[in-house]
């Protein structure tokens, strides 16, 4: 197990190192930036009384826009699993983003909680049609927090154009947990644009995963899980470039050992203009009846995030 953790940690560290190397080469075409403080708040709660709050402060010595910056971040996290006593944790990250050549962009927020490497990194094409990602985080259940159970999730996604108004996005990934469980993921989203002038689209979101060691610890891990959710989404931009998104979905989900159940989701977002070289702001609120903690039946999961970064000069 120690060897496996070491391999995963080394992979995350290598990703951060490659990102730092790219920073030394890229960014030549971006406008000059300045220092920028920032703050981010992430929270979640569910019907099993598991509450998580993460408050992060950013100190960027260079902020050019939301895709070009360099700095550090410190995060304080509070975990209250299933109504039990609150666990507290402090994380420190390096926080970077830049270009990689003319067609790619990358970002990395990689650091440690004093026990292992945590964070996320991604490399995507500038047109958002392809992405490779890697993330590592603690499992936010009682056993996960008390026994130090982590997961490392890596994968890739790409778009397949099907017509002027139709696109298929496909994602495949592997999620390795502390212990022996490895989860294989596949997700697909078929999108048909109903009204381009309104930013209105109809989507069909399919999700499947297979766990090689189901029920190993106390996180939600059936052997097989599948969901199929029709979604109606509207994304609009105002005349200043602010983005507003609302999506609502209702479908079905089925896990090994359980009956077919409803699958529900609501997603509300807003983001500051992508072209802004002074401000990065976002807000998001999501509801579903499935998470890493539990899923299906009368389960409910609510999460949200807020962020503000402002360049000083």
**Which pLDDT tens digit goes with each residue over 243-272?**
999 999 999 999 998 899 999 999 999 999
For position 43, what pLDDT does the model report? 97
Q: How confident is the model at residue 15 (pLDDT cuts 50, 70, 90)?
A: very low
Residue 156 has pLDDT above 70, yes or no: yes
Looking at the chain, the whole-number percentage of residues with pLDDT higher than 70 is 89
Q: What is the mean pLDDT of the chain?
A: 90
Residue 6 has pLDDT above 50, yes or no: no
The stretch 27-46 carries a mean pLDDT of: 82
Tokens (6 digits) for 219: 């996180």
Write the pLDDT tens digit of every residue in 162-181.
Answer: 999 999 999 999 999 999 99
Record the pTM. 0.87
Q: Which residues pair with 62 in a beta bridge?
A: 70
Residue 2 has pLDDT above 70, yes or no: no
Residue 16 has pLDDT above 60, yes or no: no
Residue 213 has pLDDT above 90, yes or no: yes
CB distance 141 to 219 below 8 Å = yes
Window from 28-42, 100-114, 183-197 with minimum mean pLDDT? 28-42
């Amino acid at each position: 197990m120690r060897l496996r953790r070491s391999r995963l940690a080394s992979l995350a560290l290598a990703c951060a190192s490659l990102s730092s190397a790219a920073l030394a080469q890229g960014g030549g075409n971006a406008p000059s930036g300045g220092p920028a403080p920032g703050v981010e708040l992430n929270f979640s709660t569910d019907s099993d009384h598991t509450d998580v709050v993460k408050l992060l402060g950013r100190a960027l010595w260079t902020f050019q826009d939301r895709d070009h910056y360099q700095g550090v971040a410190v995060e304080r996290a509070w975990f209250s699993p299933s109504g039990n006593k609150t666990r507290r944790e402090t994380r420190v990250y390096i926080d970077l983003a830049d270009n990689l050549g003319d067609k790619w962009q990358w970002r990395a927020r990689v650091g440690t909680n004093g026990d292992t490497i945590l964070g996320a990194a991604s490399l995507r094409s500038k047109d958002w049609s392809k992405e490779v990602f890697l993330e590592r985080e603690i499992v936010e259940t009682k056993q996960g927090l008390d026994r130090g159970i982590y997961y490392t999730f890596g994968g890739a996604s790409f778009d397949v154009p099907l017509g002027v108004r139709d696109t298929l996005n496909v994602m495949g990934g592997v999620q390795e947990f502390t212990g022996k469980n490895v989860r294989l993921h596949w997700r697909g989203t078929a999108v048909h644009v109903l009204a381009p002038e309104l930013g209105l689209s109809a989507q069909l979101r399919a999700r499947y995963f297979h766990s090689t060691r189901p029920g190993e610890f106390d996180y939600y891990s059936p052997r097989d899980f599948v969901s199929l959710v029709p979604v109606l989404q509207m994304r609009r931009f105002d005349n200043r470039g602010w983005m507003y998104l609302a999506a609502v979905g209702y479908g079905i989900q089925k896990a090994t050992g359980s009956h077919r159940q409803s699958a529900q989701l609501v997603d509300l977002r807003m983001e500051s203009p992508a072209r802004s070289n002074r401000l990065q702001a976002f807000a998001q609120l999501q509801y579903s009846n499935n998470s890493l903690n539990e899923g299906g039946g009368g389960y409910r999961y609510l999460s949200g995030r807020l962020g503000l970064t402002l360049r000083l000069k």
